[in-house]
Amino acid sequence: MMDILLFILGVCSGVFAGLVPGVGVFTTLILLYPLLLELTLVQLLILYIPMASISQFIGSVPSLYFKIPGESTSFIATEYGHKLFIKGHVDLIPLTAMGSFVATVLSAVVIFSLPYLYENMFYHFMSTKFVFFLILFTGACLIATSKNNWLVSTAMIASGLVLGNVGFNPSTGKFFGTFGNDWLSYGIPLFPFIVALYVLPNIMKLDNSTATAKTMDNAYIRSISNFKQYFTKMISGSLIGMIAGFVPIIGKIVGVSASRALNQKSDKDSVIAAESSNNSSIFTAMIPLFLFGVPITLGEILIYNVAETNYDLQLEFRHIIGTWLLPALIISSGVLGLVLSWPLARYCTSIFKLPTTLLKTVFLTVVLASLLYMGFVKHMALYYIFVLLAFLPLGHLLRNKDVIPLIFSFIFAKISMTIFERIMI
Amino acid sequence: MKKLIITLFMTLVFVTKSVALDLIVPASAGGTYHKFASIIADDLKTQGYEINLVVAGNCVIGKKQWQDSESAIMINSEATNAVSKCHVTITEKNYAHNIFTAGWVIVSRNNSLGERMGVVSYMKNTVKDLDVKLVPYKNTTEIKAAFLAGEIDSAFLTTGRANEIENKVELINTQSEDKGDFASWKNNDLTLNYYLLSKNVGGEIIAIIKNNKTLIAIASKKNMIPITHDQLNTQVGYLKRNEEKWK
């Protein structure tokens, strides 16, 4: 009974993490932290797997509808998918959900096969050189696929790397650009940075959609017959995500960037492939944890830290991967994600019936309330507001540019520098 | 825009800060310090104390929170204190309790350090005398991954983390009497202590923490029984001497 309740909690918190801007899986886990300390390893997985999976399914809904990213991987959907959605490609919602489901099934197969695979092959994926190559590849993808002039994109990437490196880097033990300020040692927090640079400018130019519940139902039904047409995109996105998943911390971003690059001729294809990619990368990112007891994403690190108190994790994971538990959890999360996306998409159509000014006010309130809440939780509300206000002018200045290169390079700035330093030794 | 600023200002003005004991975690959320602090906070809350768990995000902010707080407990260690901007001097007045003492192990693929050794970035100084290239990592989990991936020839890990690796050669254990080829290395008895600093905190609260069954069980299970001396000045002296090795 407790396990079922935890699974339901995982699903609900996955919806929460995917839907509310700025609140990703890691933040949701932090909010549930006291509960996590009471759980067994299996119960932690029963909670975590649906949460991580459902958040990816749901994250694309606000991204496509309102151009508000629910997750950091949703930027491809917001930037390249939202405009298509407004123009009438409402089938993007069911197609991305189906793509995510395909990725989930493929991941379940890989996870199920783990006991039969040669472990050593995974060591190569964990090597610094491989990660460094993927980061460089991602940078090239961002420049090649951005809608900006390549010089502008390169400048954005350079700026993102500088801004993202501000603060204390625990991997190198060095401070950068703090000017002796304690708050800057924390770095520039991602959430207010993204809100200033991307979310607020996009809310201000929010377009209206003519999508209704009926058109959404029709889109879902039509997508079933169109499924075959996009199947190869879903598979390619899933495979890319699987490989990129091995990149520590930023694997999902590497995956969506590469998926976008390979399908840049068609925005629709690239969004479907990217949304498939982020679902498969969250599961392959778990492979080092299951095989070697090495967590590589923030959520996994948290789960690992909680569980290692009571368990010999390597032994426990070896036992768990020999059972049906993981594939069953992954598949059931995928089925629920697919099913839940439909009513959620229908519900969102009614939000669009609101007058545009009211809609903008509602979104502004939700985003700013989330920002303040996150600031208070982290005991740095004033710093969050300061960062927001400091970057608003830049957001305004870049409102008509594709700022994805800037945001993505900001996110992977610290790890890039760390990997680069390691390569140089 | 004007309405937006007024709303933000009003929200800040009307959010009142409750008076409680601050339990400061000078590290990021979800890590080891956070876990230990959560265990302590839960225990104290069930015994009727009002606890404000402050997860600072990093040790610089943690130190700032500690300095700004009226009444606080902060988890600290030599690792945190090794970062100069995070250093909080241990005194007989602020020292409260040592919760864990972990030993360190150098593991290798064969009987030598090899060319490259993985080390947690902020503790590079502890092993700088060894004849090996030091490759910095964020934590021991990252080092373990690098060791498994074959990127480093040897690794400097806590005893607990080293135990998770199969097929390795243990070159030295700082808690063992046998120092092997490292008999002349000045840090061959290095330990890592997780201890509590307190200010304006009643003795009964520290007593509750000292008797926390979960922490005691972790110490026993993970082979991290804290080194404690009867005399306060001896205890503080031990921690300070060990701290010197980290600089």
Domain assignments of chain B as residue spans, ordered by start: 19-102+191-245, 103-182
Q: Under 8 Å CB-to-CB from A120, ≥6 apart: which residues?
A: none
Mean pLDDT of B78-94: 91
Query: Mean pLDDT: which of A77-86, B98-107, B172-181, B237-246 is highest?
Result: B98-107
The Cα–Cα gap between A27 and A42 comes to 21
> What residue of A is the nearest CA neighbor of B138?
A171
3-state secondary structure of B139: coil
pLDDT per residue as tens digits for the range B45-80 = 999 999 999 999 889 999 999 999 999 999 999 988
The Cα–Cα gap between A398 and A367 comes to 20
Mean pLDDT of B217-239: 92
Q: Which pLDDT belongs to residue A247?
A: 84
**Regarding beta strands B72-77 and B21-25, do their DSSP bridges make them parallel or antiparallel, or are they unpaired?**
parallel
Q: Do A304 and B61 touch (CB under 8 A)?
A: no
pLDDT per residue as tens digits for the range B120-178 = 988 888 999 899 999 988 888 889 888 988 899 999 999 888 888 888 899 999 988 88
Q: Do A422 and B136 touch (CB under 8 A)?
A: yes
Mean pLDDT of B70-99: 93
Helix axes A298-307, A41-66, angle to 10 degrees: 160
Q: Do B54 and A305 touch (CB under 8 A)?
A: no
pTM here? Answer: 0.83
Q: Please say whether the beta carbons of A297 and A251 come within 8 A.
A: yes
Q: Which pLDDT belongs to residue B1?
A: 52
- Which residues in chain A touch residue B30, judged by CB atoms under 8 angstroms apart? 26, 29-30, 33, 298, 301-302, 305
Q: Work out the pLDDT band at B5, boundaries 50, 70, 90.
A: low
Which one-letter DSSP state was computed for residue B94? T
Q: Work out the pLDDT band at B18, boundaries 50, 70, 90.
A: very low
Q: Which pLDDT belongs to residue B208?
A: 96
B226 has a pLDDT exceeding 70: yes
Domains B19-102+191-245 and B103-182 equal at CATH topology level: yes
The Cα–Cα gap between B106 and B169 comes to 8
CATH number 3.40.190.10 is the correct assignment for the domain at B103-182:
yes
Name the minimum distance, in Å, from the CA of B238 to any CA of chain A. Answer: 25
* DSSP output for A50-107: HHHHHHHHHHHHHHHHHS--SSGGGHHIIIIIHHHHHTT-TTHHHHHHHHHHHHHHHH
Angstrom CA distances, A357 to A127, A361, A365, B51, stand at: 51, 6, 12, 43
The Cα–Cα gap between B210 and B18 comes to 26
CATH of domain B19-102+191-245: 3.40.190.150
The Cα–Cα gap between A306 and B32 comes to 8
Q: Which pLDDT belongs to residue A236?
A: 95
3-state secondary structure of A146: coil
Residue A414: closest CA among A165, A184, A193: A165
Residue appearing with tokens 């003492």: B101
> What are the φ and ψ backbone dihedral angles of B211, each rounded to 5 degrees?
-95, 10
Within 10 angstroms of residue B51's Cβ, the number of other Cβ atoms is: 18
> What residue of B is the nearest CA neighbor of A384?
B8
Segments of B159-201 assigned E as strands: 169-173, 191-199
Encode chain A (425 residues) as per-residue pLDDT tens digits: 889 999 999 999 999 888 887 678 988 998 898 899 889 999 999 999 999 999 988 888 888 888 888 777 788 888 889 889 988 899 999 999 999 999 999 999 999 988 887 777 777 777 888 888 888 888 898 898 888 899 999 999 999 999 999 998 877 778 899 998 889 998 999 889 999 999 899 888 877 777 788 888 999 999 988 899 999 999 999 999 999 988 887 888 889 999 999 888 899 999 999 999 999 999 988 988 888 888 888 888 889 888 887 777 778 888 898 889 999 999 999 999 999 988 888 888 887 778 888 888 988 998 899 899 888 888 889 999 999 999 999 999 999 899 989 998 998 898 888 888 888 88
Which H/E stretch holds residue A13? Answer: helix A2-19
- Which residues in chain A touch residue B138, judged by CB atoms under 8 angstroms apart? 170-171, 418
Within 10 angstroms of residue A110's Cβ, the number of other Cβ atoms is: 18
Q: Do B30 and A29 touch (CB under 8 A)?
A: yes
Q: How many helices (H) and strands (E) does chain A have?
A: 24, 2
The Cα–Cα gap between B155 and B114 comes to 10
